[in-house]
A and B are shown apart, each in its own frame.
Chain A
Amino acid sequence: MTRLAFYSFIRSNSVKIGLSFLFLTGIISLFIGKQFIEKQKQNITDTAIYQKEYITQNVKFHKDDMGLLLYYLKFSLINEVPAISGLSIGQRDVNPSIKSVTIRGLEGQKYDTDLNNPYNSLLGSLDFSFVLIFLFPLLIIAFTYNIISEEKESGTWRMVSVQSKSLFKHINKLFAIRLALILVVLLLILFLAIPVLNIPINADFWAVLATSVSYVLVWFGICFWVASLQKRSNFNAVVLLSVWILLIIILPTAVNNYLVNKYPVPEALETTLKQRKGYHEKWDMPKNATMDKFFAHYPQYKKYPVPEEEFNWLWYYAMQQMGDDESLESSKEMKEKILLREKSSRAIANIIPTIHTQLAFNQIVRTDLHNHMQFLDRLDDFHEKLRLYFYPKIFENHLVEEENWSKFKPEYAVTAHQINWGESLLPLLLVTALISSFALFNLRKI
């Protein structure tokens, strides 16, 4: 019976077109992801070459002045782009995966980024997560909105009702056939992603797969519930499309709007201003005022005398340091606010499957905000390490040529990554169970 119901379904041209379209879009999304990964890899390769060339050139130009040389030199830190991130580009298209910084004030450099075409940001990326979150539900709706209702409208249902030993089982089989076909397309796309994106088959991959399947189950749950109301096909279609618009467009926009208003980040501007002011105003202040604060921060450098000449690199880098120190509080507050927004959006997302799936994907493939904030923390450490290494060499005016500059290659940030299976899957499975139980309740007397 299942075989025949399957034939009846799959022989429809609209089903074949729908499945082919979804599969094709999925494949396109993989190649878009591949393009993104390759671009990122190329950027990393280019950065290593650029850094080497830039250091070599500047060492040649400023061989007599370590302080001046380090004014110019940039050192890169890379937030590695795992191959699996091609499945969900997330915030990596706006948050850079490579930061190149000098040892001058860090705060101002943290948010320097390449220019992005705003039209690209507006359109978003047609990556796998987009196909799954936006397009899969549409096909699920198209395949299931008229289960029961179409048969009632065409008259087949009466024959089925009289013949069938269990209408409930019959309905379940119809849903199971559609679910199986959608899952086949989903798995085909994901398993094709392995060779296309060169994804290792590890916990990250299985987590993406499990989250994708859970998300598909949520939509089947919703469609099952609507079918269980046993209304007409056009009613079902309108309700399901309304749910799609609500979950895909309205709620994410509303949640974003709510969070932006609830947690405004005036500290973003404040940090920039404080950093600039913290540095620039020191030019007009007595050197002692700057140096006292600098020595309080780094007591190990108290051994260097307060400079008396008009310009000195110790004083200059102390001024730069003050820019960071004086904007430290607002920078921390900004970070806390951003993380609070992230935390709140995750909490709200627990009951909104679309947002939850996107956040879960980004978290698994490391393209989320949390990963970027960790990267910025590692950038702090990286910058501090560079400062602590070069400060004494600048203050003691070491010879440029004595330094082994070839050892300064781009470094990779180590960010913590852990898959929380429960956090990723449980909200989706609970929503599915809840909605399906409503449907089962509606169908209890069928």
Chain B
Amino acid sequence: MLKAINLLKSYNGKKALDNISFQVEKGEIYCLLGQNGAGKTTTINLFLGFIKPDDGNAFIDGEEISTGTSSLNKKMAYIPEMVQLYGNLSGMENLDFFSRIAGFKYPQEKLSEFLTKAGLQEDAHRQQLSSYSKGMRQKVGIAVAIAKNADVIFMDEPTSGLDPKAMAEFTESCKELAATGKTIFMATHDIFNAVNVGTKIGIMREGSIIHEMLTTDIDANELQKIYLETI
């Protein structure tokens, strides 16, 4: 579903991505671990089309990113570290807005269903977003991704700042999405969450993927050890 071949990206002569290659299959949750500045966000930005690679190719479902076609846009959703939505709209209105700009018009019941599925309690659906906590915003972000029915969901540090309960709910939502065949590509610092939610893990350092492993082959302690040795 996702494929990176020798991606290269530099900023002012400093390599942010150094010939990285990887592949993520449909229904997989790929967690990219690494310190700040390792190149995780650059990788996501590149797939989302926010930046262009200096060299190499990136594909989503066989379609090259550089084409920038609208069919590519349809295939992906994005949940940033801080899901920033419109504060003057309610959670449901935000979901409706972001669905409509993606070309989907859902009835209120359906929108409510998406929000519930993403873990947002029902009494919050019609509250203005300005009163939401970070965790609640993240859930609206997930609902936006669900409603878009995108094949690939990119997540950039999505659990950062979430309380344990919210993190557990978030993890559950991700697993449910993957179970429906969605592919998740997540950049994170959180080793334990990566092991818990991911199916495959990549560890980045200075723009390169140093290690890549399946979560079935490793536990959190082993991963922590490898991670600390790598960075």
- Residue ranges of A at the interface with B (Cβ–Cβ < 8 Å): 1, 4-5, 7-9, 11-12, 154-156, 158-165, 170
Contacts and interface: CB of A to CB of B under 8 A. Distances in A.
Given A12-B88, A155-B84, A162 B76 contact: yes
Interface stretch (B94-102, B197-205, B210-218): B94-102
B102 A159 contact: no
Interface residues of B, number: 30
A129 to B, nearest CB: 34
A311 B135 CA distance: 104
A4 B96 contact: yes
Contact of B102 (A7, A9, A12, A164): A164
Nearest to A154: B84
A162 B128 CA distance: 23
Contacts of A161: 48-50
B70 A156 contact: no
Contact of A11 (B49, B88, B99): B88
Interface in B179-196: none
A164 B97 contact: no
B166 interface: no
Contacts of B77: 162-163
Interface in B13-40: none
B70 A155 contact: no
B78 interface: yes
A155 B96 contact: no
Nearest to A164: B101
A155 B48 CA distance: 14
A165 B80 contact: no
Nearest to A169: B101
Contact of B85 (A7, A159, A170): A159
A165 B73 contact: yes
Given A8-B86, A155-B82, A159-B78, 13 more contacts: A7-B93, A9-B88, A11-B88, A11-B89, A155-B80, A155-B84, A156-B85, A158-B50, A158-B80, A159-B83, A159-B98, A161-B48, A170-B101
A386 to B, nearest CB: 69
Closest 4 CB pairs of A and B: A155-B84, A1-B100, A11-B88, A162-B78
A278 B93 CA distance: 82
Contacts of A12: 88
Interface in B66-117: 70, 73, 76-78, 80, 82-86, 88-89, 93, 96-103
A216 B142 CA distance: 41
A162 to B, nearest CB: 4
Which DSSP category, helix, strand, loop or mixed, fits chain B's interface?
mixed
A162 B89 CA distance: 19
B148 A163 contact: yes
Contacts of B78: 158-159, 162
B146 interface: no
Nearest to A155: B84
Contacts of B65: none
Contacts of B85: 156, 159
A51 B191 CA distance: 98
Contacts of B100: 1, 4
B70 A165 contact: yes
A13 to B, nearest CB: 10
B88 A159 contact: no
B49 to A, nearest CB: 8
B144 interface: yes
A124 to B, nearest CB: 37
Contacts of A164: 73, 101-102
B84 A1 contact: no
26 contacts: A1-B101, A4-B89, A4-B93, A5-B97, A7-B88, A7-B89, A7-B93, A8-B86, A8-B88, A8-B89, A8-B93, A12-B88, A156-B86, A158-B48, A159-B78, A159-B83, A159-B85, A159-B98, A160-B101, A162-B154, A163-B77, A163-B98, A163-B102, A164-B102, A165-B101, A170-B101
Contacts of A154: 84
Nearest to B49: A161
Contact of B80 (A9, A159, A163): A159
B146 to A, nearest CB: 13
A8 B82 CA distance: 19
Contacts of A9: 88
Contacts of A158: 48, 50, 78, 80, 84
Contacts of B48: 158, 161-162
Interface string B156-192: 0000000000000000000000000000000000000
Contacts of B144: 159, 163
A158 B100 CA distance: 16
A165 B93 CA distance: 18
Contacts of B49: 161
Contacts of A155: 80, 82, 84
A391 to B, nearest CB: 77
A5 B88 CA distance: 10
Contacts of A163: 77, 98-99, 101-102, 144, 148
